[in-house]
Structure 1
Amino acid sequence: MKAIPYGKQNITQEDIEVVVDVLKADFLTQGPRIAEFEENFATYIGSSYAVAVSNGTAALHLAAMALGIEPGDRIITTPITFAASANCVLYCGGEVYFADIDPETYTISLEAVEKLLKAHPKGYFKGIVPVDFTGYPVNLEELKKLANEYGMWILEDACHAPGGFFIDSKGQKQGCGNSNYADAAIFSFHPVKHIASGEGGMITTNSKEVYEKLLVLRTHGITRENLIKDFPNPELQGGWYYEMQELGYNYRITDFQAALGNSQLKRADEGLERRQEIAEKYYASFSENKGIKVQKRSKDAYNAHHLFVIEVSDRKGLYDHLRVKNIYAQIHYIPVHLMPFYKKFGWKEGDFPNAENYYKKCISLPMYPSLTNDEQDYVIETVKSFL
């Protein structure tokens, strides 16, 4: 059996052709494909605005800036995520606090968040960054109640979850990233994600103020719009004129990345449907195996399944066994608070037992739309034979 990775991009001939068309056109960056991608992505997600940037980490950083993190502000996130979900707070001079995960969904525990909030005076925390881990949606309606009570904003990390949703108290589907209950959300277009553009990211929001701020921040803080009216010498303001109004960054995406992303977006629902088929087969195959724990399923949550995670007691043994069999499973993630860098802030083993227990047992099995039925059967058989 050829090598089977945990995740993999699917590039079609149509994808290649749209990128070649851009390479032959006049714009490689800051061209028309970016605005087209932003408009189509906002429509797909259900948000009012979308801003494309160079990667998911840049999206987190700019969104955090646009939401107003200032030095010393305290922000809550989950320890089971990629480090960027926490790092974006430090980029802005803020302080990171963690809340433990729900041991069944693997997403941030709202009970743990509430406990943390109650242990401090109102106003102590400025915001929270929940993560739709594996594609499982955090119930942002419930989280929003806490955020409103304690005066916090919400920045949803939906990198794993385009197409995922939860059912709110009114029976309405709330798509991950639609910003109906969050102030902004972010996505990644890394090759193993649902939509691949090589690198790339997107910020979605329903706030015009946040949107306009993002547009300036992604391009060095420079703008030709809303110019300062008290410029001392109007004769120096011609068609060339622009202003740097804030300290921004060069977080622009290229036109050919946007074209690739837009082409991939057309197949997003098809890919999502295939991920559900793969997940259903995994669930059915492992449901009666007492040596395997699977992520919780709920009628009120639609998991977009960027990942399919199982827990086993001998995780290292299974990991090594799969690699011998040419199956390259992965571990998501080492708890952020146990990274050497974050330990410098005083975080230590034992702080978040649910997250730490999960990490000792978790392993991500292959999950991507082009995974064949035969390949998945081979993965399932190999896991079962080890156990």
Structure 2
Amino acid sequence: MTFGEFGGFSDTRFANMALAPEDFPQMWQRPSYEELTGILESLELSPPVWNHRQQRSDIVAQQESLATQRKAEVTRYLSSIIKSPLAWIDDYDKQEALWELASKRMSERCGRTAMGEVTRRWPFEGDGAACEPFELIIKEPALTGDSLGFKTWGSSYVLSRFLPRLAATSLFKIFDETLGQPPPTVLELGSGTGLLGVAAAAFWQTHVILSDLPNIVPNLKDNMEKNKDLVESRGGSMSVGPLTWGGEEDEIDQELFGECFQFKVVLVADPLYDDDHPALLASAICQNLTLGSESRAVVMVPMRDDTTRGLLESFKQAMLDLETPLFLEEEKKLDGEDDWGEDEDEGQVECWLGVFSRGGSPLTA
């Protein structure tokens, strides 16, 4: 029996009820394991379902029930379960399960970094009369340590939604079906959780190879498998392998990436976090993009702050400083969002989109 869209009850007596915290079964009442499990499951806070037509505040509000909106009262209730010995429940495994579930509900109210592993749904509109809307399922592991690759950043969703338009404009010659050529294999660099690469395989009906650091690859493969049936039903396919920018041979899948200049399209979203990244990314694009004037590298960078803007300018220059320069053919800015930051009010961010090629002239301001 479900409660709305975001949580579930294991006991049907709670169905269709919107209990206030003061109505929850209290510890002095010695509620049963089933009652406590039902309440705890109903209090789940899932990551928001992204919808670019809504403000982030609207998205968050949608997912919260009357009970979960009252954060302080709910937190105190969860704490009462965690501190209780639950002595009336004569099964230690069930006691452990309740403490663990209450702790999880508590962590969900402390921001994304405290939530642990989550699975998020990313809706997409159809790309034509013959194409139905679809949804991708992406798992994000717990954000601990060096976890940049385990977070699905908002700019990758912005670029993912923009893929059909890119195929019809900037990449038209590459994807023009009237030429009788099969669509090219696409490479995504720094795939993270894989949203952009999976979306490209689904929208462009082609083979996409997703890549990232070796420790990121297992989750990438998991997300590839989660979406494999949907992508294949739309005519696409995917592969995954490690590709460390500037890395040693054992950090690069030699079967997938041992040969240079293989990919007519290279995709990158939100790749710049360190002073070394602009030059490393430029080199990685140059090594993998096919030779010739028709190949294209598509790069999106969210303009969060002055540091990000500085890294972007360094990247543009690094592309020109290559032995065989890559020129900025066109650029534009798109509205995007960043979510699950420390500040709940943050959200809107402008995303820079650039399309690079080996031929032509540099784009001038």
- TM-score computed with the length of structure 1 as normaliser: 0.29
Q: Which has the higher contact order (CA 8 A, sep 6+)?
A: 1
- TM-score computed with the length of structure 2 as normaliser: 0.31
Which of structures 1 and 2 has the bigger CA Rg? 2
